[in-house]
Structure formats: C-alpha cells, structure tokens
Amino acid sequence: MAAEKMTTAEKILSHSKSVEEWILGGLPEREVAAALGIGYSTFRKAKKENELVAQLVNGASQRYKAEQEKIQSEKISQVRSSLFQRCLGYNVDLPKHYKVKRVARNADGEVLLDASGKPIMEDALEKVMEKQHIPADVTAIKFYLMNQDSKEWQSDPERLKLDRKRVANDTKRTKLAEAAAGSGETAGKSLEDILAEAEGDVY
C-alpha cells in the first residue's frame, strides 16, 4: 500500500524548528513557504485552518516583532542619552601624539652608540590619552527643550503670536465683509472693495 501523502500542515509542522528559526531571523512568511517548497497561498490556508500551524507561525512572528521593538527601544534610549549629553556637554578621552627623543635600539633591544660611545637619540611619536571637554551644543539644547517642554519653548514665540493675530484678523475681516454684504450696503462695490473696507475696520 502506498504511503499517504503528507498534508501541507504536516509538512510545516515537521519542519517546525526551521520555520521558527527562519521567522525569528526575519524571514517573511512568503519566503518561509518558498523554503519549504509550498505555495504562499497554500501556506496561508494551512495557517488559517490548522491551529498548531497558526500557533507556530504567529508565535514566532510575535516574538520576532517583540525583539525588534526591544532593539528599536534600546536604540532610541541610546540616542536620547546621547542627545542629553550634547545638551549638557561632556568629557571624553582623545588621543594626542607628542614628538619625543628616545634612545635608539637595535633589533635585540641593545642601545646603539655613536663613534664616541654616546647613546644615539632618535625622534619618536608618543601617544597619550588626554581628557577634552566637549561643550554643550545650543542646537541640541533647543531641540530637546522644544520636544520635552514645548509649552514653554517654541521655535519662534513672536512669530507664533503674529500668526495667531493674523488668523484672528482674517476671521474678523471675513465676518465684517459678510455682514456688510448682508446689510445691502455693498451695492455697486467689488469684493476687493468690501474686503478693503472690512480690513480698515479691523486694523
């Protein structure tokens, strides 16, 4: 008797460890299906109809998503910390090179002497680490305060006030023009004349 053909769900579950590893590695479901030699629509159907397949695929996908969100959160935290440091200024160890005189030695480490028996001196660069202060960055400070304390720190408070006044005046001017038009006092006047007169009432 011929062996029964394996169903799509059984094929997926028989490779459950690989499927889980592929998904956790970021492989899209379409590519997981291709790796198994299964059509994508057939793969999705098996996931929809078989609870074990759904648990396998969705569980791995959720774990992958959670891990990516954790990584992203850590990156954001690092950037936030870096931005805060730029706001305050910080100290950093930077390499410095100084030219110094050293006694010349041969390959065996023996001191080289000149004809008179004195040690031969040679120029050399010596690397040392020195602390250097990186001052606070005004742009970083402005960006931080505009995001963390936006009520008190706006990009241009004066401009914002002018914009609000302009919007209020435009609204008032429009209402005055509409009122004048409704009162019958606009006979023979163009729209520009009506708005000009309303503007004069506003300013």
| Extents of the domains making up the chain | 1-89, 90-134, 156-202
Distance CA 113, CA 196 (A): 98
The tokens for 138 are 């005004």
pLDDT tens for 1-50 read 444 678 999 999 999 999 999 999 999 999 999 999 999 999 999 999 99
Distance CA 90, CA 95 (A): 16
Identify the three-state secondary structure at position 21. Answer: helix
Could you list the mean pLDDT of each consecutive 10-residue stretch along the chain, which spans 203 residues?
Answer: 73 95 95 95 95 95 95 92 89 86 86 86 86 87 82 65 70 64 56 57 47
DSSP 36: T
pLDDT, position 65: 95
CA-CA distance, 102 to 121, in Å (whole number)? 5
Tokens (6 digits) for 57: 């695929």
First to last CA, the chain: 98
pLDDT at 188: 54
**Confidence (pLDDT) at 1:** 40
Q: What percent of the chain is modeled with pLDDT above 70? A: 75
DSSP assignment letter at 134: E
65: Cβ contacts below 8 Å, ≥ 6 apart: none
